[in-house]
Amino acid sequence: MSSELNQLLDGAIATSKQWAEKGWPMTFGRYEVNSVIEARALADTVNTRIEANAYWEDVAEVGEETAEHGEVAKKALAEGNAMKAKQHIFSAFFEERKINDAAPTWGPVFAAVDK
């Protein structure tokens, strides 16, 4: 396994796990709620609270799933199973595209193994 690919995987795994906490700009109704932390802090009277929490909890779940795919890919590469690694990297890439079409985390990793 190349050192560069291993670094890409490590970075993507760590970043994926933090998607919900670090967040990104999102608006729910008239409220800007940019992370799971902000969603949890919304008052019960905010009528978009449920939607914001559901969205950010989904982002957290997808982040954990993509990180798991990354861990499996790292192990597969260490064992010399490039095909299995590529399949898991693609799965992480595909999952990320559900919440961010640009796939800034897993897109570069997929591009690196798709050469």
| pLDDT value for 64 | 98
pLDDT at 1: 53
SS percent in the chain: helix, strand, coil, step 5: 70, 5, 25
CB 105 within 8 A of CB 15: yes
Identify the pLDDT of residue 47: 87
Give the C-alpha separation, 70 to 108, whole Å.
Answer: 13
Q: What is the pLDDT along the chain (115 residues), one digit of tens a residue?
A: 578 899 999 999 999 999 999 999 999 999 999 999 999 999 988 889 999 999 999 999 999 999 999 999 999 999 999 999 999 999 999 999 999 999 999 999 999 987 7
HSE, side-chain direction, 13 A CA sphere, residue 78:
8
pLDDT value, residue 114: 76
